[in-house]
Amino acid sequence: MFLGVLSAFTLVMFALTIIGLVVFTLQVNRYEASGIDDYNTYSRIYAYIASNPDSTVSESLYQDLREYGLTQDCYVEMIGSDLASSYTKDQLLDIAIRAKVSGIILEGDDSEETARLVEEADLAGIPVVTVMTDAPGTARCSFIGLNNYSAGTNYGNLVLQAASEKTDDAIDALVIMSSGDSNESVLCSAIQETLSGSNISLDSVVIESDSTFSTEEKVIDILDEYDELPDIIVCLSDLNTRCVYQCVVDMNAVGNCTIIGYYDSGTVLEAIERGAIYATLNVNSRQLAQYCVDALNEYIDMGNVSEYYSTDYILIDSYNVADYIAEDEQEETGEGV
């Protein structure tokens, strides 16, 4: 009996020793495998160079570029984002060329330096596609742009719709641009064209942010110039939209001043839900991302590609804002997980 118990106990001890050793080995293996060993490799790497890498539009576009790229066995890197120093767009373009990336997705401009670097990239065998803003007259292989005229018409129709809900006979509308570049010019022209023949008087202003926190100050300055706030304010950038919204809230003019914004940041969506912002137009960044990656792949694989791809804006108003808020929350939860 005693011997039996002793034998059983010994067997238990033996089993515990073995289990202990196995657990120990697994633990050692786990820590040995931890760290830099968890990664995937891809056949191509594309560099994304934004005019303003910190803008929410660029960040959003980069996320979509990265996600879509992964599905195509490409990794899209926002080059320079992990560096301790800040570099200009041209410097980043130069770095991308030196880093021998497979392709470059560039928010273009019409500067000579950019044109020279695009030329250099082309000579180095690196295809460049421009996105949102073009670099005309350069060696870029394709431009993936926004249909700004269509967007301007949409903005105009929204202004007309908002004006019809107001009781005043004379409606003042203000368009606030952020750079006055060709995109915004086309937008503004389309808005004017749409509003022609109506009783709405349209004014436009450009707020250029020459320093980090200047936008908000300039918005306040402009709105202070008005004895009475415009009935409708159209903002053509995300930051302008948020600044104008905050300013209108501070002036206690919500309801009197209708804001039509740009982009689908969380603040803007919440404001639409509450009725403080009438509607917003958002870049279809997924479509943009898809066109960019596909254009580069096609150029590398086939040697040529269509020079121009056009994407539409998405209208978000009180009718469909709930869907976007839910989508936002879902994305946040997904990232959290």
The site for another protein (CB under 8 A) is made up of 3, 6-7, 9-10, 13-14, 16-17, 20-21, 23-25, 27-28, 31-32, 34-36, 38-45, 70, 74-75, 77, 79, 82-85, 87, 91, 94-95, 98-100, 102
CB-nearer residue toward another protein: 94 or 328: 94
The residue written with tokens 């004017």 in the block is 192
DSSP structural state of residue 254: B
Structure tokens at 134: 């073009």
16 vs 170 by CB, closer to another protein: 16
The CA-CA-CA angle for residues 325, 327, 333, to 5°, reads 105
- The nearer residue to another protein, 21 or 322, going by C-beta atoms, is 21
**Cα(114)–Cα(63) distance, integer angstroms:** 24
Task: Output 12 or 322, the one with its CB closest to another protein.
Answer: 12
Q: How far is the CB of 12 from another protein (least distance, A)?
A: 9
Residue (16 or 322) nearer to another protein, CB: 16
Q: How far is the CB of 77 from another protein (least distance, A)?
A: 6
Residue 67 C-beta: closest distance to another protein, Å: 11
Give the three-state DSSP class for 205.
Answer: strand
Q: Which of 213, 275, 268 is nearest to 242 (CA)?
A: 268
CB of 336 to another protein, least distance (A): 19
Minimum CB–partner distance for residue 333 and another protein (Å): 21
Residue 46 beta carbon to another protein: minimum distance, rounded to whole angstroms = 9
Kindly tell me which of 9 and 319 has the beta carbon lying closer to another protein. Answer: 9
- Report the alpha-carbon distance of residue 15 to residue 210 in Å, rounded: 72
CA distances (Å), origin 96, targets 92, 101, 106, 112, 270:
6, 6, 11, 18, 38
Task: Tell me whether strands 232-235 and 200-206 are parallel, antiparallel or unpaired.
Answer: unpaired
Q: How far is the CB of 109 from another protein (least distance, A)?
A: 20
Q: Please state, in angstroms and rounded to a whole number, the distance separating the CA atoms of residues 192 and 83.
A: 43
Q: In what order do the strands lie in the sheet with 313-317?
A: 200-206, 171-177, 232-235, 258-262, 277-283, 313-317
Task: State in angstroms the smallest separation of the CB of 101 from another protein.
Answer: 8
Q: Residue 85 or 304: which CB sits closer to another protein?
A: 85
* Number of C-beta neighbours around residue 15 at 10 A: 10
Do the strands 277-283 and 313-317 form a parallel or antiparallel pair, or are they unpaired?
antiparallel
Tokens of 57: 């539009």
How far is residue 76 CA from its own chain's centroid? 14
Of the pair 14, 226, the CB lying nearest another protein is at: 14
CB-based contact 101:46 (threshold 8 Å): yes
